[in-house]
Amino acid sequence: MDREILRRFQAGDESALQAVYRRYGGAIHTVALAILRDPELAADATQVTFLKAWRAAATFDPDRDFAPWIYAIARRAAIDLLRKERPASELPETLAADPGAGIEETWEAFQVRLAVDALPAEEREVIRLSHFEGLTHQEIAGRLGVPVGTVKSRSHRAHRRLVELLDHMREGGTA
């Protein structure tokens, strides 16, 4: 994220908050959904995350990476909501025993969501229909009203971009 936006965010600029939300809102929702497993609660956790981040903006160092900072806020907000909604006896065993369990999987989901959100809209839609709705290329073509070849080329380009965007997650990745 642009350092100038982060500096404005830290200084309390509302337009910077909007930019941060546009960039991270979907990914934060994915993090919350991975913990809460309820879309409505995940939406609540997303709002709580940005409210807490806004209130703590002055403590953020704009020269540091923003994603881990806001991700930590999101994770705590989601766990707090989960604990509020369910007694400890109903919490998933891993969360009840160790609130840090599954952080790697949640971080990976967050990174994938950021990468998918960074794709051009047409490629993002093909990925969504293919991977999240389980449609075939033929079904995607029918849904979008484009030739199958167009779906295949968009899928190929999207996957190539995702490999580049997610390379830092591989062991020995370049980033």
Here the contacts of 85-88 (C-beta below 8 Å, separation 24 or greater) are 85/41
Structural domains of the chain, count = 2
Choosing from 36, 70, 99, the residue where a domain stops is: 99
Choosing from 99, 132, 166, the residue where a domain stops is: 99
Decide: 112 and 167 in contact? Cβ < 8 Å. no
Q: Quick: pLDDT tens for 19-51.
A: 999 999 998 998 888 888 888 999 999 999 999
Residues 99 and 101: their CA atoms lie apart, in Å, by 6
- Single pTM value for the model: 0.53
User: What's the alpha-carbon Rg for the chain, to the nearest Å?
Assistant: 18
Q: Quick: pLDDT tens for 44-100.
A: 999 999 999 999 998 888 888 888 889 889 988 998 888 887 654 454 444 443 444
- At which residue do the structure tokens 């990174």 appear? 111
List the structure tokens of 16.
Answer: 């910077």
Q: Quick: pLDDT tens for 93-149.
A: 444 434 444 566 667 777 787 888 888 999 999 998 888 778 899 999 999 999 999
Cβ neighbours for 58, distance < 8 A, ≥ 6 positions apart = 10, 12
Residues 61 and 149: their CA atoms lie apart, in Å, by 47
Whether 129 and 78 map to the same domain: the answer is no
Return the CATH number at 61. 1.10.1740.10
pLDDT of residue 62: 81
Whether 88 and 159 map to the same domain: the answer is no
Domain that holds residue 158: 119-175
pLDDT of residue 159: 92
Q: Is the pLDDT of residue 170 over 80?
A: no
